[in-house]
Amino acid sequence: MLSVHTSPLHQPGTGDAGGMNVYIVELARRLAAIDIEVEIFTRATTGALPPTVELAPGVLVRHVDAGPYEGLAKEDLPAQLCAFTHGVMQVWAGHRPGHYDLVHSHYWLSGHVGWLAAQRWGTPLVHAMHTMAKVKNAALAAGDTPEPAARVIGETQIVRAADRLIANTAEEAGELVRHYESEPHKVAVVHPGVNLDRFRPAPPHQHLAATALDVYRETSPETSPEAVAASRAAARERLGLPQHALVPLFAGRIQPLKAPDVVLRAVAHLLTEHPSLRDRVVLPVVGGPSGSGLAKPEGLQKLAARLGIADLVQFRPPVGQERLADWYRAASVLVMPSYSESFGLVAAEAQACGTPVIAAAVGGLPVAVRDGVSGFLVDGHDPADYARMLHRFVTAPDLAARMGASAARHAQSFGWDAAAAATADVYGAALHERRGRLRSTHG
């Protein structure tokens, strides 16, 4: 596997680390569990880590020196692809011939390294876009920076070169065919997964109050509204959040693409329409600035002050996955008004924890969120529309628990084991096709 611009060892929610990091780590672990050994090549961003790190049995992370460890923006990385490729080739030269059976590249920067490596080694290239420049540029947030033409050209080349392309959803598969003229037979749809052991309505070994524990034990499965409500109460106690507050949560990288400003404006609109709710709303924002958001890292705090809701917003830095799961559990609802999402892992994780989602009806979110069952989909990014959805959770106090129970059940279909098995099938098809071509060539 190739992941040039972000390491699977990085904390999601910081810098360029996000859903793709989680995707690569979880997929690699599950592939190793079904006897597919994985080596992940990524760019070294600190001298503190050794050249190789065992992430899990059968999963090795290799750090490649390519450019300075720190201070290199994602936009500057194309100039380091030659150095990165050289590092990959050096490792390969130390192995016996045929050591690598297949190359799986993630994101367009990795795709260019994968293109060369796969040709040099005589292996298939499987590529996952994760996001696409043409799709992002068609749905830019106000003030966001368009993706450069060089990326569009690069993605087009990779689509042509790859033996197989993995898309998160049928819509993304259609976009690959429509925008990049991919051959339809080369595109396979594999939904990303969720770590259902970590993201669940109640964490393992959770210590609930006696009454809540009785409810939890008596309900089967744990995805009943009563169990979800009990888990939410316990999570709020752990995080110091008021029990009866409306807690809309934003979790993710703080950048225009993810539209955290829409969440703040929606809460401000809700309070303008219903001033009596002011003492009953807490808005946690869990994540760090990223991408074009790095230019104005304090922008969201200043917006909260201008909207008059600074006292209601809790800005929290990115947290580990165990802690993030607790933030999901504690929330009344996750709000995800992104302008573009290839899938929306955050939405799937929150639902797995028993929390409904209000999301923009873009990209893969209509697959991740079942409208009216596990959450609500909103057309567009008008804060008033999101405020109206938030108000539904005020007028129906049991809605968060009822919809959260449905969300937890819905998320059960997004397990990583299924994603790994489907990915292994894609690998098998690519290898079979490659061997068939070799036989016909030499026949």
pLDDT digits over 387-398, tens only? 999 999 999 999
Query: Any known ligand binding at 98?
Result: no
φ, ψ at 253 (rounded to 5°): -70, 140
Of 30-44, 264-278, 279-293, least confident by mean pLDDT is 279-293
Range 219-229 average pLDDT: 77
- The pLDDT confidence band at residue 213, using thresholds 50, 70 and 90, is very low
Residue 372 is assigned to a structural domain of this protein: yes
Looking at residue 215, what is its pLDDT? 42
Q: What percent of the chain has pLDDT over 90?
A: 74
Query: Any known ligand binding at 137?
Result: no
Residue range(s) defining the domain that contains residue 121: 2-193+416-442
Q: What average pLDDT does the structure give for the chain?
A: 90
Is 353 found in the same domain as 254? yes
For residue 77, the 8-state DSSP code is G
CATH code, domain carrying 261: 3.40.50.2000
| Tokens matching residue 331 | 């929330």
CA distance 325 to 198: 7
Query: Any known ligand binding at 370?
Result: no
Query: Any known ligand binding at 21?
Result: yes
Is 239 found in the same domain as 109? no
Query: Any known ligand binding at 12?
Result: yes
| Tokens matching residue 141 | 């947030």
* Residue of higher predicted confidence among 83 and 439: 83
The enclosing H or E element of 64 equals strand 59-64
Structural contact between residues 150 and 112, judged by C-beta atoms closer than 8 angstroms: no
Query: Any known ligand binding at 131?
Result: yes
Q: Is the preceding peptide bond at 221 cis, omega within 30 degrees of 0?
A: yes
Is the pLDDT at 382 greater than 90, yes or no? yes
Is 288 found in the same domain as 250? yes
* Residue of higher predicted confidence among 397 and 263: 263
pTM of the full predicted structure?
Answer: 0.83
Query: Any known ligand binding at 186?
Result: no
Looking at residue 220, what is its pLDDT? 41
Query: Any known ligand binding at 216?
Result: no
Looking at residue 320, what is its pLDDT? 86
Number of domains in the chain: 2
Is the pLDDT at 210 greater than 50, yes or no? no
- The pLDDT confidence band at residue 214, using thresholds 50, 70 and 90, is very low
Of 128-142, 155-169, 328-342, least confident by mean pLDDT is 128-142
CA distance 129 to 202: 33
Query: Any known ligand binding at 86?
Result: no
Query: Any known ligand binding at 409?
Result: no
